């Protein structure tokens, strides 16, 4: 589903050049659950931005679903992104002025769906993440864990092929964090590809595969044996 070949990202400001990613080679197959780990500044968020088509590589290629997207225009990238990728961020990124229902409905604006189907889908997804009783609330009227569940619902509403999560539990206590992790795990079991950045070894253990970055390079890429231990337990 994803193939990065010799991909680099260099940030250039007037007098400084920062190599955030250096010659990354990475293949992610449909249905995988990948955890990306590594110290602060190693390039995790940069990698996720590129995978999410919010940023472009400086060199190298990025194949998404069999197509090299290097030649895509901004508009084509945005269309592909809106149709296939759901994002979950550390800081939830909900729109304060919109209700829970409206936040989750938002990504459907770009799809040609009738009002009634829209309503059906939003209600079903709110139920799925256990927040259907808070549809008319504003984000600030919710706990952190609830807000992140709304963010997960918003990511899911388009039936994405890929979920990208950047420290999705970074602002949550451990109980709410565990709930969000369990939700990502379940989504992955249902077939969605998940790529998650995390600082936590415990959360990394939810994934099937672990990629460790250091200074913008892949230091380790291996099947996650800890995951099996989690499943047995
Ligand atoms: N817009 C930018 N302009 C210049 N340098 C940048 C920019 N974004 C990131 N960088 C640099 O690229 C490197 C990788 O940053 P990135 O945000 O990907 O790290 P990270 O692994 O996500 O770190 P953290 O764990 O702290 O979130 C850092 O050295 C950072 O300073
Ligand atoms: Mg980061």
Q: Which residues line ligand 1 (CB under 6 A)?
A: 11, 18, 20, 40-46
Phi-psi region of 162 (alpha: psi -120 to 50; beta: other; left: phi over 0): beta
Enumerate residues 6+ apart whose C-beta is below 8 A from 114: none
Which ligand is in closest contact with the Cα of 47? 1
Q: Cα separation of 227 and 229, whole Å? A: 5
Task: Output the CA 47–ligand 1 centroid distance in Å.
Answer: 10
Q: Is the dihedral of CA 7, 69, 183, 189 positive or negative?
A: negative
Kindly list the averaged pLDDT for each block of 10 residues, start to end, along the chain of length 233.
98 94 98 97 97 96 94 93 94 96 93 92 95 97 95 95 96 92 93 96 94 97 73 51
For residue 18, report the distance from its CA to the centre of ligand 1, in Å.
Answer: 9
Q: What pLDDT does 108 receive?
A: 93
> Residue 224 to residues 126, 132, 233: CA-CA distances in angstroms?
31, 34, 15
- pLDDT the model gives residue 230: 54
Distance 162 CA to ligand 2 centre (A): 19
Judged by its nearest atom, the ligand closest to the C-alpha of residue 20 is: 1
- Enumerate domains of the chain plus CATH numbers: 31-42+80-232 (3.40.50.300)
- Write down the pLDDT at residue 224: 87
pLDDT at 226: 63
What is the dihedral angle through the alpha carbons of 112, 115, 117, 123, rounded to the nearest 10 degrees?
120
- Return the structure tokens found at 108: 């459907």
Residues, CB-to-ion distance under 5 Å, ligand 2: 45
């Amino acid at each position: 589903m994803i193939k990065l070949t010799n991909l680099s990202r260099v940030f250039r400001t007037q007098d400084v050049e920062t190599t955030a990613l250096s010659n990354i080679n990475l293949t992610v197959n449909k249905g995988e659950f990948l955890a990306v780990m590594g110290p602060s500044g190693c390039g995790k968020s940069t990698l996720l931005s590129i995978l999410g088509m919010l940023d472009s590589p400086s060199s190298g290629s990025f194949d998404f679903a069999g197509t090299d997207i290097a030649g895509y225009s901004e508009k084509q990238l945005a269309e592909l992104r809106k149709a296939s990728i759901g994002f979950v961020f550390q800081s939830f990124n909900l729109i304060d002025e919109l209700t829970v229902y409206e936040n989750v409905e938002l990504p459907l604006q770009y799809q040609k769906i009738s009002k009634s189907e829209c309503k059906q889908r939003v209600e079903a997804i709110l139920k799925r993440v256990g927040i259907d009783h808070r549809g008319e609330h504003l984000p600030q009227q919710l706990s952190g864990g609830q807000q992140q569940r709304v963010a997960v619902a918003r990511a899911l509403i388009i039936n994405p092929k890929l979920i990208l999560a950047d420290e999705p539990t970074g602002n949550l206590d451990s109980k709410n964090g565990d709930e969000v992790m369990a939700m990502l795990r379940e989504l992955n079991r249902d077939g969605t590809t998940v790529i998650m950045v995390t600082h936590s070894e415990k959360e990394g253990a939810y994934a099937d595969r672990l990629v460790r970055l250091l200074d913008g390079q892949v230091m380790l890429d291996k099947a996650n044996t800890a995951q099996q231990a989690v499943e047995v337990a």
